[in-house]
A and B are shown apart, each in its own frame.
Chain A
Amino acid sequence: MTTPLLTVENLRIEAARTGEAVVDDISFDIARGEFLAIVGESGSGKTVAARTVLGLLPPGLRQSGGRIALDGEDLAKLSPRRLRALRGPVVGMVFQEPMVSLNPAISVGAQMAEGLGLHTPLPKKEIKQRCLDMLERVQIRDPARTFDAYPHEFSGGMRQRIMLASVMLLRPKLLIADEPTTALDTLTQREVLDLMVGLATDHGTSVMLITHNLGLVARYTQRAVVMQKGKVVEAGTTEQILTAPREAYTRQLIDALPRRETNMARRPTGEPLMSVRGLKVEFAGRPQFFRQRSGIRAVDGIDLDIDAGETVAVVGGSGSGKTTLGRAMLRLIPSVAGQIRFRGREVPAAADRDFRLSSQLVFQDPYSSLDPRMRVGEIVAEPLRHVADLAPRERIQRVEKMLDEVGLANFAKRWPHELSGGQRQRIAIARAIVRGPLFVVADEPVSALDMTIQAQVLKLLERLQAQYGFACLFISHDLAAVEQVADRVVVMQAGRIVEQGSRDDIFDRPQHDYTKALLAATPLVDFANPRVTHVPA
């Protein structure tokens, strides 16, 4: 038996100041050419563990025990110079955030060539040729132009490909991918990961895929390590972990996967609560010297009806205009054409009082949607300012009742920064619901949250909806979540609706090619048949 490429034994990493363990006695190994998943939620120590392999611990942390052997060499015994020589040719890393992991001031080509120039004695011309070949390999349309372009000219998905290309250029033996596609939409995620797996297979590279998405684990990896609070909970083959988890925590993770539930059949109640006709939104083009560039039509003629109490999901890749549609339907951004009727009355371009007070919005990012200088109680109470004839005492009672309903009773005196992401999102939901709205737009309400928290927040939304009966426009790129909550699904592409229908129709009998592509790209775990679908090169 050959020795594994990477062996981590009893690794312990602690905060230098307090001695508190961040990674506590973990062991795992990766064979040559193997794809290993490290699964865990935020705070589980998975990223820290991966960074230790590169010898790049964040400041304030130190390794206080254990051994890491890479390709037969003990990392602890290496000089900093030798360690630097390992980074790149032996271990490469792709980061989570493509928007900030490329240097905006240096051209793509120069950044790609940097690694080859440092680690190989190749002549400049040869280096450039290799870069161009690699860009072509990651399916970038115009490699020569890309080579001279700057990172800001590319979308997140393209940047992640460039990142991948520059890392794989050095043919590392181990590729560490830290949530490489969390910031990308479903279609792009699929493309980037397929490329990554293809490249790794070509070069015989081992991959350490760090993720919280079990769908990706099922699709791309052979073995998985589940981490929680710095400890390894369970390790085994992907199939065994997904189908026969031994530990309670693993089971909890798997149970948190969104599942389709039969929803209550809702009867159309005659006139829809809200009805949108021919809605168009344009963003002004960039002004040039003498004229303005023609604008971008983000929403291009949308017709949509929403019944009272119904959940309509809007799905589509990034740039499909779904977020813009949500804002425009709340009259938060101006539309250039079209009309919106709410409860049988037309909503003017500057939303009237009645519409404003009966519609609400839940945001994607719970970290920026709460005023950091207000206490939780004040935040939830704020919408009640506009409720007439509400005695201060009643107001306090309503806030307390609402906080209780989102499971955060006695949190009124806390500050937002003291809460976790999931708790903050609960507060944001409480703020949206406290006034009893009829229509709520939820813009990617769970995509910034961990898996188990996602499940809780989705359940909470469903429960509140059943209780208060508001209609919900659920905007998401995550079809798994949509499958769980939606009554109807609307698929958007380039500002238009390409397909709409009941949830079961869309998921079971998609008609449009774009819908089919979206569904195929969604990493769902097929429990009946969880074989690894590991894409060949």
Chain B
Amino acid sequence: MKMRANTAIGGLLIGVLFATAATAAFWTPFDPLKVNLRARLQPPSALYWLGTDEFGRDMLSRIMAGAATSVLVSVLTVTFAVMIGAVIGVLTGYLRGWTDRVIMAANDALLAFPGILLALAVMIVTGANKFGIVLALGIAYIPSVVRVVRGTVLSIREKEYIEASRVIGNSELYSMARHVLPNSLAPVAVLATSMFGWVLLAESALSFLGLGVPPPAPTWGNLLAASRPYMESAAWLSIAPGLCIALTLLGINLLGDSLRDRLDPRMVQG
């Protein structure tokens, strides 16, 4: 019963998010980029539901437009990091030996950098655009995925069903793909949902440093960053995007948990 409710709430939140992002592609109440200096820093009203920013742009429109960018960037980054990280993690954990040592040495070196610093370095090469961010944050988050996957693989590969697979005559590659990988994914599903949150925040940090999606295009991250000087005089500027990020994370986490349980045959009971 409890699990059903969690799934429903998570699904609802994420559903609303995607609907918003889709709507914003062809309709927003106002033009999110239109400057209106006569309506600067207006509090929420019947006309401007979420108020206006320092240039008189409608916050609701900007949040709707930002949703698409933010969600796209986060989803792509997490997918990228998890896919590459899982492959590297399974390879290194399953093959062990020198492959493992070399890859893990490189991986630990990357882990030693603060993620945001690493992302900055990559952004300088790729330039500030959507796909630069995806690449930069993806690379920054791969090492932790590799660590988690490798740890699970190391314990899975000692299980007797892996030996059974070898006795059957299956190749190493097949055993890896058919038996090791599916059994190593549960912790990654959990990691991926929390990573989604880190990426949303990291994207806002990059925007804050001037390396995110370049203004005036809105993202939740740079909306939050831009609201900082007005935190005391115009709180709605930070509350609205902050709430959006929080609710999205909640939705993703709820949905991620139920997804993990659903994927595990041992958890699906009658």
Contacts and interface: CB of A to CB of B under 8 A. Distances in A.
A80 B159 CA distance: 42
Contact of A431 (B164, B169, B264, B266): B164
B161 A371 contact: yes
Q: How many interface residues does chain B have, given as a range?
A: 10 to 19
Interface string A379-405: 000110110000000000000000000
B165 A332 contact: no
Contacts of B182: 373
A188 to B, nearest CB: 24
B187 to A, nearest CB: 14
Contacts of B265: 372-373, 415, 417
B73 to A, nearest CB: 32
A417 B169 contact: no
A179 interface: no
Interface residues of A, number: 24
B166 interface: yes
A382 B170 CA distance: 9
Given A372-B266, A415-B265, A417-B266, A383 B169 contact: yes
Contacts, number: 54
Interface stretch (A255-263, A278-286, A359-367): A359-367
A428 B161 CA distance: 10
Contacts of B179: 371
A382 B168 contact: yes
A361 B164 contact: yes
B167 interface: yes
B20 interface: no
B162 to A, nearest CB: 8
A330 B163 CA distance: 11
Nearest to B159: A368
Nearest to B268: A415
Contact of B161 (A332, A360, A370): A370
A361 B163 CA distance: 9
A369 B266 contact: no
A152 interface: no
Given A373-B182, A373-B183, A417-B265, A330 B167 contact: yes
A360 B165 CA distance: 10
A361 B167 contact: yes
Interface in B151-200: 159-161, 163-170, 179, 182-183
A368 B168 CA distance: 16
A82 to B, nearest CB: 39
A356 interface: yes
A353 interface: yes
A357 interface: yes
Contacts of A368: 159-161
28 contacts: A330-B167, A356-B169, A360-B167, A361-B164, A363-B160, A365-B160, A368-B159, A368-B160, A369-B159, A369-B161, A370-B161, A371-B161, A371-B179, A371-B183, A372-B183, A373-B182, A373-B183, A373-B264, A373-B265, A382-B170, A383-B168, A383-B169, A385-B168, A386-B168, A415-B265, A415-B266, A417-B265, A431-B164
Interface of B: 159-161, 163-170, 179, 182-183, 264-266
